[in-house]
Each structure stands twice: as C-alpha cells, then as structure tokens.
Structure 1
Amino acid sequence: MSNASQNLPDDPAFLKAMIAALQAENAKMSATLRAHDQLIQDLRLRIARLRKQAFGKSSEKIEREIQQLELALEDLLIAASENSTKPIDEDDEIDPHASTDPSREKVIRRRPRVSEKAVRERREIDPGRVCPDCGGELRLVGEDASEILDMIAAQMKVIEVARLKKSCRCCEKMVQLPAPSRPIPGSMAGAGLLAYILVAKFDDHLPLYRLNEIFARMGADIPDSTLVDWCGRAMRVLQPLIERIEAAIMGSDLLHADDTPIRVLDRSLRDKGLGKGVKKGRIWAYVRDQRPWAGVAPPGAVYYFAPDWKEEHVHRHLEQTSGILQADGYKGYGKLYDPGGDGTSRFREAACWAHLWTP
C-alpha cells in the first residue's frame, strides 16, 4: 500500500468531498484541453486557408500572418503536451510503476530520424562478474539496447601554434617550419569558426549581434564589426569555389528554374519621400538535380539576385546555357523557347505540373 493511501482520512463524508473536488478539477482540466484542441484545429484551418490563398501570387502580409499563426500554434501544442500523457512507442523503455489506466490516451508520434553518418557512442551498463544473490560467476547471455539522442555543446577553442626553432650543431643553421596558412591572413579566425559563422548567418538567418552573445557565453568577445569583416573576407576566399559551382550548374543541359520575391531597401526611394524606401526584388534559383533518374552529376543550385522582375535578368543568367528548362509560366522564359534563325530553339520547355491549371 502506498503512503498516499495510508494518509487518507477515514471519514466517508470527507472522502466524498475530496472525490467531488477532484472530479470538478478533472472536468475543468478536460474542458481546458478541449478548448486548446479546438483552438489548435482552428489555427490549422486558418493556416491552410492562408496558404491556399497565397499559392501562385505570394503576399508578404499573408506570409507574416502565417508565421505568427505558426508560432502561436507551437505555443499551444507545447501547452497541450504538458497536460497529456507521455508518448510511448515500441522502442521506448516503459516505467513499470507508471499508470496503466486504459482511459488515458497514449499519443504515438513519429520517432526522430537520425542519419547513419551521425556520430555514435556505445555505453555499456554492466552488472559485474559476480551474482549479487549467491556470489556465483555471471555469464553474458544477451543485452537490451536502446538509443538516446543527445547534443554535445559547441566549444570555443584557442589553438596555440608554436613553431619550434632549432639550430644545427654542425653548421649552426637555424631551422623553422613556416606558419600554416589561414583562411583570412592575419586573422584569428579558423576555418571551422568561419564555417560556423557563415552557416549561422546565411542559412540559419541568425543576426551577428546574437552570434556575438553566443560567443561571449563561450568565453570569446568578438565585436560585431569583426564578425562583419570576417563574413566579407570569408566570402572573398570562397569566391573561386562559388564560380566553379556556378560554371558546373549553369553548364548543365537540364535546369530547374524558379524565382521568389524579397524585400529590398532602396535609399533613393526613401530620399524621394516614397514610403519607407522598400521595394520588391527577386532571387532566381537554377537547380541541377539528376537524382530522381539516377543521374551521375551531383545536385547543386545557383542563386542570382535582381532588383526587379524584368525578363532581361533571366536572359542574362541563361545566355551561355541551353538544353531543357523546367519552370513555371513566367512570361520572361517565353522568348527562350522561340526558334532562332536556324529554326531551332536554345531551350525545350518542360512545364511545371504544379502550375497546371485545372477547372
């Protein structure tokens, strides 16, 4: 018998009052959960409607509202999970002392997918070589294995490079190896740190001032101005690699093309008193991906920025390219499919099925 049951009073009337209070609290919690579930469903429906409305012609206002709704939905899902039972799947270790009440619904969620290339560590929990009951020798008959996904925190490390000087005992010549090259000459930044900064800035969209705060917690105060300089000079170091990737992708005979709007600050508009000086630019993406049909060329993408949506930008991007172009119905691609003087066209059109109109 548990200690909780031993401490219960013997008065039946008092016990009934406790049961009634617990039932009322349970009903209140159930109503709260039902309200949360209803609100979650409403938010999901609104997000779906907004996405359908935004399909085809995008709207910045709609996109911002979707993002805000998704943030609110995440908060509600977290709050709901606090009051729900622990999700259990077939590979989880089950606590034998946990509640077995069948009325409590178990929520089964998809297990995280971890790449086979992920670093793995094996930890063995060994009961020893001697039986704790009789003292006899234990022999291995099997094992029960489970997995825990953990994170090893990033660590800022100062690598001291010491170049030893040595002199020859015979000719007195001084011998010292040259210093290893650095991505940015004269800078403290190592290759790994620069890669971390570039990925955080341009892929994870993390502002540099937040990186400054993260690095400060690790023991390194790197000013924002220094981070800006490192980003610019690192991009200069990567420029030859960028150019080789661009030449390889744009030299393909089959490309996928698409564009997306992006907000651009234009000081000239603000100086003329035209709003906040914000206009809509474009980023064009050209992709080579042969994986669906077991092609041998590695996948890759090239991005070009343009201040507007004029077709001249597309023609300039593709002036050295020919073959098959799969894209949407943007009118700027039309002239690329027109026959030239010899009756042939530089590109064959592979229309995008996602933009096919159906009644």
Structure 2
Amino acid sequence: MVRNLLVEKEDALREKEVVLLEKDHRIRLLEEALMLARQHRFGRKCEALSGLQRLLFEEDTDADIAAAQTQLENLLPKGRSDEAEERSTPTRKPLAAHLPRVEKVIAPASDNCPDCGHSLRFIRDEISERLDYIPASFVVNRYVRPQYSCDCRQTVVSAPMPATLIPKGLPEIGLVTQVVISKYRDYQPLYRQSHIFARSGVEIPVSTQAGWVGAAGVALEPLAEPYRVS
C-alpha cells in the first residue's frame, strides 16, 4: 500500500516536472519570438519600407508583439508578469471628455461583509473607465403624414415630405454622407462598403452607391466652385 502511494507520488512529481519544463521551453520560445519581432519592427527592414507597405508591416508586427506579450503574461509567474506588463504598457492618455459616458454600477452581491456577515458601510465610489465601440447601424425613417380632406374645396391636404438628395430614392442624407466620406476620406471602395452593409442584412449594389456618389457630387459642386483653378 505504502509502495503504491510512493509510486503514485513519484509519477505525479515527474508529470509536474515535465509540465514545468514544457512551460519554461514555451516561455523561452515566446521571449525569443518577442525579441525578433521587436528587432523587425524597429530595425532596418522596417526603415527600408515606405508608404502603405510600411504601415501594413508595422500593423502586423505590432499585432504579433502584442500576441507574444499576452501569452507571456499568462505563462509567467505573477511577479514577473507584473514587471513585464509595467515595462510594456505605455502611459495612457485620458479618454476624451466629449465622449458620452454610460454608467454601470457594479454593486457587491450582498450588503453584508462576506467574511463576518456584518452590515457594510458605504465609503466612496471607485471609478474606472474603459472605451467601447457601438457599431454603426441602419435605421428606417418611417414618415407618417396624416391626410385631411376639405369638403369645401374637395381636396386632400397633407404636409410635404422633407427634402431629399436622391429624388424618389431610398437613402437619407445621412446614408449618402456615410458612403461619400467612407469612399473619399477613409479610402473604402464601394464594393467593400457593400460587404460591410451586407453584414447588417442590407444589400446595396455598387452601382446604386455610385449613383448616390454622383448625385452628391452634383449637389456639392457649388461649394467647390470658388476653389476651382481657372
């Protein structure tokens, strides 16, 4: 009986030692990969690139560095992980004051102390802020125009529809503005915008968007006229 217990204990120790060796090996590989990624990111190879090619290279390399750092933080002991995080985490700028704040109160599960059961007394609010993003969404503006009849004139009276950029078209000015800004300011071709819209279940062909862009250009032409070079 005692012998069996000793054998089981030795097997458990060997398994634990193997796990630790594999973990140390993984840490060394990640540290080497992180070092190489940083050399590529800030070395001559990066400096030799230019324009969009360099931007894409830097984005991919920064993503690789972040992935390696995250894995290291999960593998390193608590102390070493905190030191690595302090070295790698840049000083954060405060979040823009103009952004709307959504307050989420996270209260304790109970009003009593979890250790002794005594009633808790409020001290203060600890506040931390995280930045979130709400994806753009479509909305259908449904115009309801009550119609009234005039018995004297034998006619129907109703309010006129608001002005629109595309006569008899479906898009509101906000949607046309989004397409134009995405195309010319954010460099999103119309076919890519079609894919983005499709994720929301809205099918807008490239030809339709092109028609909107053309109509917007005509509408904005008076604003550009003073800046034309004769």
| TM-score, shorter chain, exceeding 0.5 | yes
Q: In structure 2, which of residues 104, 117, 126 is the aligned counterpart of residue 144 of structure 1?
A: 126
Letter in 2 for 1:188: L
Q: In structure 1, which of residues 185, 191, 216 is the aligned counterpart of residue 167 of structure 2?
A: 185
Contact 1:36 1:76 in 2 (8 A): yes
Letter in 1 for 2:65: A
Q: In structure 1, which of residues 70, 73, 80 is the aligned counterpart of residue 65 of structure 2?
A: 80
Letter in 2 for 1:116: A
Give, in angstroms, the shift of residue 128 of structure 1. Answer: 7.8
1:117 aligns with 2:98: yes
**Match in the other structure for 2:179:** 197
**Match in the other structure for 2:107:** 126
Q: Identify unmatched segments of 5+ residues in structure 1.
A: 1-7, 51-64, 89-97, 247-301, 305-312, 317-359
Q: Deviations over 1:14-41 (max 9, x none)?
A: 6555544444443333322222222223
**Match in the other structure for 1:215:** 197
- 1:33/1:173 Cα in 2 relative to 1: closer, same or farther (>3 Å)? closer
- 1:191/1:139 Cα in 2 relative to 1: closer, same or farther (>3 Å)? farther
Contact 1:164 1:176 in 2 (8 A): yes
Contact 2:148 2:157 in 1 (8 A): yes
**Hey, what's the Cα distance between the residues in 1 that align with 2:193 and 2:217?**
18
Contact 1:85 1:105 in 2 (8 A): no
**Match in the other structure for 2:56:** 71
- 1:83/1:190 Cα in 2 relative to 1: closer, same or farther (>3 Å)? same
Contact 1:33 1:80 in 2 (8 A): yes
Contact 1:129 1:139 in 2 (8 A): no
Contact 1:165 1:176 in 2 (8 A): yes
**Hey, what's the Cα distance between the residues in 1 that align with 2:126 and 2:32?**
41
**Hey, what's the Cα distance between the residues in 2 that align with 1:215 and 1:16?**
53
Letter in 2 for 1:77: D
Cα RMSD for the two superposed structures: 3.4
1:101 aligns with 2:102: no
Give, in angstroms, the shift of residue 209 of structure 1. Answer: 0.8
Q: Deviations over 1:117-171 (max 9, x none)?
A: 22222222234884366474x6543100111111111111121212111235788
| Counterpart mapping for 1:146-161 below 5 A | 146-161=128-143
- 1:167/1:101 Cα in 2 relative to 1: closer, same or farther (>3 Å)? same
Q: Deviations over 1:81-111 (max 9, x none)?
A: 112159x9xxxxxxxxx82237852212242
**Hey, what's the Cα distance between the residues in 1 that align with 2:23 and 2:124?**
46
- Alignment size in residue pairs: 214
Give, in angstroms, the shift of residue 191 of structure 1. Answer: 1.1
**Match in the other structure for 1:39:** 40
- 1:10/1:101 Cα in 2 relative to 1: closer, same or farther (>3 Å)? farther
**Hey, what's the Cα distance between the residues in 2 that align with 1:112 and 1:34?**
27
1:241 aligns with 2:223: yes
- 1:46/1:170 Cα in 2 relative to 1: closer, same or farther (>3 Å)? same
Contact 2:37 2:61 in 1 (8 A): yes
More helix by share: 2
Q: Deviations over 1:248-275 (max 9, x none)?
A: xxxxxxxxxxxxxxxxxxxxxxxxxxxx
State the TM-score, normalized to the length of structure 1: 0.51
State the TM-score, normalized to the length of structure 2: 0.75
SS in 1 for 2:89: coil
More deviation, 213-222/145-154: 213-222
